[in-house]
Chains A and B, each alone.
Chain A
Amino acid sequence: MTSPIASVIPETSAPRLARTRDRPASLPQRRSERARLRTDVALATEVLAPVWPLQQFIAINPLGGLEGRAFEDAVLATESTLGIRGTLDEASYRREYARGRISDAELRSALRRRLSSSLDRTLVLGGQRWDAADLLRVDLVHGTPAPAARRESRTLAERTAPAVAEAIDRQTTKWCAAFLDRGQATWVMPGRELGLFGAWRRLARADRSLPAAARQRVSGIPERGEDALLWALDELRIPAVEHRGYLQAHLACLPGWAGHVRWRAEHTGDVDIVDYLAVRVVLERLLLSPAGADPAPIPPPAPVERAPDTASRARHVVAALGATAEVSSDERRALAALLDLLPVETRRFVWLEAYEARFRNDLLADLTPRPESSRDDDLRDGQRATGGAEPVVERPAAQLVCCIDTRSELLRRHLEALGPYETLGFAGFFAVAVRFQSLAGGAATSRCPVLIEPSNELREHAASGHERGAARRISGLRAIDGAERSFHAAKDDLFGPFALAEASGWLTGPAAAARTFASAGYARARASIRQHVAPEALTDLPVEEAFTFDERTLLAEVALRMMGLTEGFGRLVVLCGHGSTTENNPYASALQCGACGGHPGDLNARIAAAILNGAGVREHLDAAGIEIPVDTWFVAAEHDTTSDRIRLLDRHLLPNSHAGAWDALAADLDRAGTASSAERCASLPGAGTPRSASAAVRHTRARGSDWAQVYPEWGLAGNAAFIVGPRELTRGLDLGGRAFLHSYDADGDPSGASLETILTAPLVVAEWINLQYYFSTVDPDLFGAGTKTIHNVVGGIGVLSGPGGDLRRGLPWQSVAIGDQLVHEPVRLLAAVQAPTARIDAIVDRNPLLQDLIGNGWISLAARGQASDPWLRHTSRGWMPWTTTNDEAR
């Protein structure tokens, strides 16, 4: 047996738990109660997604714990437990319908997919015959809207004493901010070693914000969080069978803090969700009745607004149809029975599916081969293609392997238009999962998707012969860090700010002015000073120390096979990670590479290039059938998605023989970046209409250095598809930065191993990103972080809106919208895979996570065996033609 379980609280210290019992519970009985409580808490928590700290913002599906249920069921369940809104409201969808974004045909198709044969009939109303689908469509468009979703489970305090409920939330925020702080606070909360509940219990006795009677009772509360929570639930007269629902109600009060506690519990282990709940429920008990009197009886729940019944819906439909003849009662009953097939609460899901159809149908039509003449017409028109993007038939001038991130699509498209370049898409961690410590030291960080816990560690070294330069950089970085710490320490000190203002005001005042009115110049000056104090040093990544030979060869082979790059290598193969440079942006990590755990992808590209250039690895690959020419060199680069600059990494490792090839490529990358910036500039608020491409570039680059800019770039807004297949599938198409592109060659993967990895990892990450954007858009208050303009960073872990309240989760409003105009269309992800459907079926059959995602409607799956085949839709009844109804045929 291994891993002894530690507990800081002796279990024998727990006093009697149940006030109604005649004698104290025995130890086995207490253990049973605790164990059952643990399960209640675990099940209550499934509606709550973990909230990552801001330094490594990870886009996740906020309903990830419910992926075992159908999307619709999970949304409805979460609406009633957390009070969220899981779709746009009907009024929003109707506005999209009114402006033509959703058509009648798309609505009818969505209805047919949902109700299938139930709609194969007509109804007579007032002597006129109507198609069943049309009647439901009228109800969708004209029916009385469903009432807004409302949280049904509420705490006792919320129902009986709203002021107490608010006080509990205030106390929770106060103590969570103190306990969970990661270095932002000047004073560390005492007693942290006791855990959240233990530390709170110790300090609450002296907390003057609590009533004196309540403070006096704290000492009598059990020391152990589980026991205290059971005590409080018992005192509140919450029956054991209702514990789970009651605890869920408490989790719903501040889902941001609760979600972050969940993340900390699972990743750092320094806090326990039971402790969090214990603090809240004990506070509730104490504040509802400080002197210990019995709590007030639980009042019945407040009446909820009811959805219109089918009879009234039927009347509404008849009125909307403008039927002139009398509609009989039998006809009305038949209509009501039809409307019963589509409950009011579920109409939004029909709207959602109709809303999703346009992009999906258009995309798959674009991915369908057409006669050359038709394609040439498109290229001339420049409607959906960039032009000049002829497939590479000879050895490419270079290959650029980009992250699957939707932002890479622009760069790839513009580069391909410039010459015989081949581009590929692969998860931006390049199959390198590692914990990394930089030359400057500090805490190691995981550079890989959060789906993986890396087991390899790598520490950056000074390059041979450059030790002095590295030492100078380290000392310079330490000096900068020390200066910054001193400055902040002075600001946080009681009297320090006065002296600080006197001593440095002459400098910081003008600096702030320069930073505001000449941000680009300020950024250049600061970078120059930084370079002077801590000049860049050449470093090496000792991949042989961090990875065994077998690991390196496995990594290299898996990466190349997954991206379908097993032949036709160019002289230069560029592994291009991506990062983002922004100022004063707590959400900076949300713009970094998700596949690298919210960090820039430069390091992973450097490691992968070093491995792929290794002689021993090349020999192994050769033996495995991947013959890389001796003149092929892998180089690492980084694409800054805010400025569209692409910079070469580890230039000192580039052989002289390849310097010319890189310089030529770099020039084209610069042009491609300029074109990408110009394209992006058109959609950035406040950018106006730049006079030239270079003016657009200057503008986009200035945004990254502007500390007041809340729209530095759009990140992955607009994402809607994940395309798996060879680049020929998408080459020449303008996908508008809406698609994740993963290269895949089905012919080179007969076992399906590569496809299985793509579908179980990159697709999952893309689904998380997609749903993070989706939910942040449909409910910016509870799933999103609200407006950036009032964000207040707390504890180094997240932001509050203003001085208090819940820890915000999800993306800020400025990531998905401008004012009240959505920039991100909240649609679920379409995965389009070019591979044999039998292979896909086999993979789905042995992976429950894919069964959940696809079968439960979290993503949609389209596939075709080869380019000449029609697209098929994955359904519960097997593969069906993508266009299954006449309504959809376009």
Chain B
Amino acid sequence: MNRPDLTHMTKVEVVVGAADVAAVRGVFEAAGATGFTSVSAVSGLGHGGYHQGRLLFNQQGALELLITVVGDDALDGLIAGLGPLLQERPGVMFVSDTYVSRPEYFA
């Protein structure tokens, strides 16, 4: 896609357990991401089987989706931090191209 009104950036989405959310946020910050969006209590089916989403009285047992958008200068840092984390902790990471209209928000 080549549109002059949009700027190419990279979107990183991470799904982890509630216990690892702080670690992911720490990596986001250290890598230079300027913000993120989080969606709590996501559910789904993975190689570990079906994972229940929202539990009535236990938010710590839930999964959380964290999304950030970064430029090339922060991407290496994100991968350097998140890769080893997800090798040892349950979770997944998706990296994809994305386009934003206000790139200054993400740099």
> A residues engaging B (CB < 8 A)?
1-5, 7, 11, 27-28, 31-43, 65, 68, 226, 265-266, 274, 427, 431, 433, 449, 451-453, 558, 756-757, 760-762, 764, 845-849
Contact = CB atoms under 8 A, between A and B. Distances in A.
Interface string B57-99: 1111100000011000110111011101100111000000000
B79 to A, nearest CB: 8
B35 A36 contact: no
A42 B23 contact: yes
B25 to A, nearest CB: 8
A761 B59 CA distance: 9
Nearest to A758: B57
A433 B31 contact: no
B37 A35 contact: no
Given A27-B73, A28-B77, A34 B31 contact: yes
A847 B61 contact: yes
B48 A1 contact: no
A5 B34 contact: yes
Contacts of A1: 34-37, 68-69, 105-106
Interface in B8-22: 17, 19-20, 22
Contact of A449 (B34, B50, B52, B57): B57
A762 B61 CA distance: 13
Nearest to A1: B35
B56 interface: yes
Contacts of B17: 848
B55 interface: yes
A752 to B, nearest CB: 12
Contacts of A68: 90
Contacts, number: 142
Contact of A451 (B23, B59, B77, B81): B59
Nearest to A244: B84
Interface string B30-57: 1111111110000000001111100111
Given A1-B105, A38-B26, 12 more contacts: A31-B76, A32-B80, A35-B31, A35-B77, A35-B82, A36-B84, A42-B22, A68-B90, A433-B57, A846-B51, A847-B55, A849-B61
B40 to A, nearest CB: 10
A32 B31 contact: yes
B50 A845 contact: yes
B85 A39 contact: yes
B30 A34 contact: yes
B37 A32 contact: no
Given A3-B36, A31-B76, A35-B80, A453 B90 contact: no
Contacts of A5: 25, 28-29, 33-36
A42 B21 CA distance: 10
27 contacts: A1-B34, A1-B36, A1-B106, A3-B36, A5-B28, A28-B73, A32-B31, A36-B80, A39-B85, A40-B84, A42-B20, A43-B23, A43-B85, A226-B30, A274-B26, A431-B57, A449-B57, A452-B58, A756-B55, A760-B57, A761-B57, A762-B57, A845-B50, A846-B49, A846-B50, A847-B51, A848-B48
Nearest to B56: A757
A682 B17 CA distance: 46
Contacts of B85: 39, 42-43
